[in-house]
Every structure is written in C-alpha cells, then in structure tokens.
C-alpha cells in the first residue's frame, strides 16, 4: 500500500466553508447557512487558498464572490472529497444508524409534476432525517449539474445521455398525441401522424424532448407544421385545449382537462406501436453512491416496479 508522505495543509471544514460560499455567492449567505460568523468563513477561505497556493475566488464587497478558473476546479474536487468523507462516516456508523443529511435531486421538467411529489413524500416518510432538495431543468442542464457535483441524482429520459452518466431504468412511457376533445380524430382509438401532417403542432421545446419529437416525426415520414413552441408542459396542454394545434408528449397527467377546464384527449400513435422511452435515475459514473443515495435508488426501483404504460 502506498504510504502518505505528508498530511494535506487544509481541513474538511475549510472545504465545507468554501463550498458553501461558492454555492451561496456571498460570505454572509454562507455564514448564515453554516450558522457561523462571516469572519470564520472569510478566514477559512484565506487559509484554504494559502494551503493550496492558488486564488479560489475574487471577493467584491457589493457583488459577493466570483470563482476563478482554479476555484471552479477545486469546487468540484471539494464536493467529491466531502462526499467521500460523509460516506466514510456513514459506513462506520453501520446499518443501524438512521439516514440523515441532504440529498440533491434533479428532475426533468415534464417528469417533475408526476414523479417528485410521490418520491419526496414516500422517501421522506421512510427517512425523515433526510432532506431532499430538488432542481427542475432540461436534460442537458441536469447532466451538467450532476457532473459538476451539484446534484447527487437526477430523474431523466433515456435521451442524449452522456457516457459519463451512470443510470438505472425505472419505467417506460409510450409517446402519445394530445388533441382537443372536439378534434375530428378524438373518437378514434389511435391516430396516425400522417393524418395530422397538415395541422399545426404545439412543440414542447425543452431539450431533448423537441429533438426526440422531431426525430420520431422524421422517422415516420412526416414533416410537422410547428406553429407554437413552449418549454412548459402545461402551456402545451393549454394551447391544445384551445384548439391551437396538437402536441406529441410522453408524460401524461391524470387530469384530462387544462387549467381553463377545457377537455383534451390522449391518443396512441399508430406509427409508433411498440415504441417506448425509458425513464432513468442517473448519477455521475465516476462517483460512488453514498448510502443515502443508494437507498434512494433502491426506493425508486421499488416504487416504479411494474409501472410501464
């Protein structure tokens, strides 16, 4: 085994204070979060910079702190070290210790309304000392946050997933067409994209959903007439309810009415019979899951077992 030649000149507490300051953006906000004085945070940052022999941030009284390029790199490494230290503490605490602490969870925009409430409520009831902070975003943004160490886990679609991302499959969803209830095809058991080719489309423009939708149309030999674009799942439903076009979606809420109370109908797509998209729980491939994250992965697999549609 390789022997340590010397101890590092910095402490985990200094790294902890640095991460808090970087995430909060100001010394005062970091101090408030850590329940320490501003001078304690400022002192820790100065000591850490001297130990590493590099400037980590630029401090401006009226504008908080801005990370230097070196500071950005150290931030990612500091998060990894703090997670490893936490994992060491959890491992030696044994299985009898209650899970506690913070779990940073990301969720793709359109999945969030139907996935997050159930997971937060169920896992929170099982492990009340774990605080789940969640972030909603597009697939590319969430993957960047995972790789930067700002998220522990993220719920994503199996679309354009980076090779640096590890994953487990939770369930499948089939794409469908959303129509206003009075549409000429509303009474059909399923519809063909070719039958909608000349009608306006409302495109859910939240990557990678938009890329995926347009690719499916191309594969079916249809060039859609995109009339409206929106990054909001509910806005897309509202526009369809008003008869302003049809939409292709994957996620389906239980309520078949828009906020205005206008009815909409969901129809399977004849050209896509048998096709489905996987919903994943993902994390950085280079990161070993903490006990808290591993428990959350197992919980999600249990919750969504057999829930394909």
What is the per-residue pLDDT for 5? 62
* Nearest-angstrom CA–CA distance, 145 and 154: 9
pLDDT averaged over 10-residue windows placed end to end, the chain, 309 residues: 67 89 90 90 90 88 83 86 74 62 91 92 93 92 90 94 95 94 94 95 90 92 95 92 95 83 94 92 89 93 82
Domain 175-275 belongs in CATH node 3.10.20.30: no
* Nearest-angstrom CA–CA distance, 118 and 131: 15
Please name the residues in contact with 196: beta carbons below 8 A apart, sequence gap of 6 or more: 177, 185, 222, 224, 246
Q: Which residue has the tokens 């995109």?
A: 226
CATH of domain 12-89: 1.10.10.10
Q: Is the sign of the CA dihedral 191, 197, 198, 199 positive or negative? A: positive
What is the per-residue pLDDT for 96? 46
How many other CB atoms are there within 10 angstroms of residue 150's CB atom?
17
The model carries a pTM of 0.73
- Assigned CATH class of 100-170+280-303: alpha beta
Q: Which residue has the tokens 């590890």?
A: 166
| Domain boundaries for CATH 3.40.190.10 within the chain | 100-170+280-303, 175-275
Contact (CB, 8 A) for 18 and 56: yes
What is the per-residue pLDDT for 95? 54
What is the per-residue pLDDT for 308? 67
| Domain boundaries for CATH 1.10.10.10 within the chain | 12-89
Please name the residues in contact with 249: beta carbons below 8 A apart, sequence gap of 6 or more: 110, 175, 176, 177, 178, 204, 233, 236, 266
- Six-digit token string for 124: 């929170």
* Nearest-angstrom CA–CA distance, 227 and 239: 11
């Amino acid at each position: 085994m390789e022997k340590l030649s010397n101890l590092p000149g910095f402490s985990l507490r200094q790294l902890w204070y640095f991460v808090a300051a970087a995430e909060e953006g100001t010394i005062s906000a970091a101090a408030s979060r850590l329940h320490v004085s501003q001078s304690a945070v400022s002192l820790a940052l100065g000591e850490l910079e001297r130990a590493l022999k590099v400037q980590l941030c630029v401090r401006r009284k009226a504008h908080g702190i801005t990370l230097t390029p070196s500071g950005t790199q150290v931030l990612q490494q500091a998060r990894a070290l703090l997670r490893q230290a936490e994992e060491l503490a959890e491992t030696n605490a044994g299985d009898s210790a209650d899970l506690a602490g913070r779990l940073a969870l990301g969720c793709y925009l359109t999945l969030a309304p139907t996935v997050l409430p159930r997971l937060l409520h169920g896992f929170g009831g099982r492990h009340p000392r774990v605080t789940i902070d969640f972030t909603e975003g597009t697939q590319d943004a969430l993957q960047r946050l995972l790789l930067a160490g700002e998220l522990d886990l993220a719920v994503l679609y199996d679309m354009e997933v980076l090779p640096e991302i590890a994953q487990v499959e939770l369930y499948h969803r089939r794409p469908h067409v959303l129509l206003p209830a009075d549409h000429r095809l509303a009474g059909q058991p399923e519809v063909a994209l070719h039958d909608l080719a000349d009608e306006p489309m409302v495109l859910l423009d939240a990557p990678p959903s938009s890329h995926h939708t347009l690719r499916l149309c191309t594969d079916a030999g249809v060039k859609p007439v995109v009339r409206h674009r929106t990054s909001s799942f509910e806005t897309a439903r509202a526009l369809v309810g008003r008869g302003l076009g049809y939409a292709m979606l994957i996620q389906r809420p239980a309520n078949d009415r828009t906020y205005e109370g206008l009815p909409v109908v969901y129809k399977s797509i004849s050209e896509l019979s048998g096709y489905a998209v996987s919903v994943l729980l993902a994390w950085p491939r280079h990161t070993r899951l903490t006990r808290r994250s591993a428990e959350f992965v197992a919980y999600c697999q249990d919750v969504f077992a057999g829930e394909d549609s």
